[in-house]
A and B are shown apart, each in its own frame.
Chain A
């Protein structure tokens, strides 16, 4: 099964999830996602998703000057972002549970 299609629907949730504990800049978020097992996630998709969540008011951002290379823009969850994460997380869990039940012992 092509995981990129599955990813499209849950990338918002995944990005919000990896920012829950700690703020991060774009490449950070990408690494955390990959480290979490989402290998197929595209670089540009992560940056696009960050922009969309930011524009939707779910993230705040701040710039941290970097010693080596360009400065980095960090993103952090704000209150609406946390609420969204909680809400979407519940939806995902019940959805995953439903699919698990459907699959049963077969998978």
Chain B
């Protein structure tokens, strides 16, 4: 092969290499090993009759040669620069649609959970998610672009691996209950609207969204575009669900402290929080046990500072005082009384001053035996007769 020939052959081979430039470099090297040798051999065979025109006549243009080889080898068609640009754009759009969906779901969840905190951020994310949903519904083929995103492929692989686990199988059996969830979700969304807005336009909006989510559930099974409605709806509904459960749990937890209303566990008449008893001289009695006319103890609950509780009929109870020193229990009577002199006139106990020290807590006039006297003709000993 003379230098003239080799230069023209090299040009031809360069043209081929250029036409295959989008393929992996290793593959191009392999091809050029084979086909390059072929072109050189064909050129050699031509001998004196060789010219670039003759070579092109025999093998076609470098691009035509490369294209024919590409088809026979099953390589993808060459990407034109215009197509590449569209691809970049569609990848960008696909990524936006996907991540706005993710953000929308998280936002819907936290918005519901926090009863509508961070309104500005919610509006921004909500608009992005809405734009993403609009894109998915309007732009044909965007769903396919999203499915080609590396993050989606990785997620699908992870799910495929998870499909073999028992957990997934258990989860799959729940699919039959999906319609129940769709209805429940719509109810939760409507309830969320009620929780957050009371009956205003927001509530009407929530009702509309609830109806939309009802439609989106079955649709998303066959048309993946509806996931852009269905998933944020699920996020919102779960947020509402957690909020409701959380509120219930808090209420139940704080019951003994926040709501110390006496609860009658037995069928005993309701009793006041505390009862102070005085003898005829106005001396307070301690450790008095109270019974009703049937001999049933007038039991009532009592809660101390440490959270310990008592349920009996012994009065008066120590007072539970909360002040700057914290919680402490104070025994005795917080007031003194003046006993009436005339046995028939009842003078209401006159609160004088909270002087607990004045009381006779050391006394042990205890038993529920007959009080030595009283203002009214009260019954004497109550013997539990039944």
Contact = CB atoms under 8 A, between A and B. Distances in A.
Interface stretch (A67-75, A78-86, A92-100): A67-75
A90 B67 CA distance: 31
A52 interface: yes
A50 B31 CA distance: 10
Given A43-B59, A44-B60, A25 B72 contact: no
Contacts of A72: 37
A26 B38 contact: yes
Interface string A5-45: 00000010000000000000111001000000000001111
A68 B1 CA distance: 10
Given A43-B59, A43-B65, A11 B38 contact: no
Given A51-B34, A69-B44, A72-B37, A11 B65 contact: no
Given A43-B59, A43-B65, A44-B59, A52 B41 contact: no
A30 B64 CA distance: 18
B323 interface: no
Interface string B29-40: 011011111101
B38 A71 contact: no
Interface in B23-74: 27, 30-31, 33-38, 40-42, 44, 59-60, 64-74
Contact of A70 (B36, B42, B67, B74): B36
Say which size band chain B's interface belongs to: 20 to 34
Given A69-B44, A73-B33, A27 B38 contact: yes
A80 to B, nearest CB: 17
Nearest to B35: A47
B38 A48 contact: no
Interface string A49-79: 1111001000000010000111111000000
Contacts of B64: 44
A47 B41 contact: no
A50 B40 contact: no
A69 B47 CA distance: 13
A69 B30 CA distance: 17
B313 to A, nearest CB: 92
B40 A47 contact: no
B38 to A, nearest CB: 5
A26 B37 contact: yes
A40 to B, nearest CB: 13
16 contacts: A25-B37, A44-B35, A44-B66, A44-B67, A44-B68, A44-B69, A45-B68, A45-B71, A47-B31, A47-B69, A47-B72, A50-B34, A52-B72, A63-B33, A69-B1, A70-B41
6 closest A-B pairs by beta carbon, nearest first, are A48-B72, A44-B68, A48-B73, A48-B69, A44-B69, A45-B72
Interface of B: 1, 27, 30-31, 33-38, 40-42, 44, 59-60, 64-74
Interface of A: 11, 25-27, 30, 42-52, 55, 63, 68-73
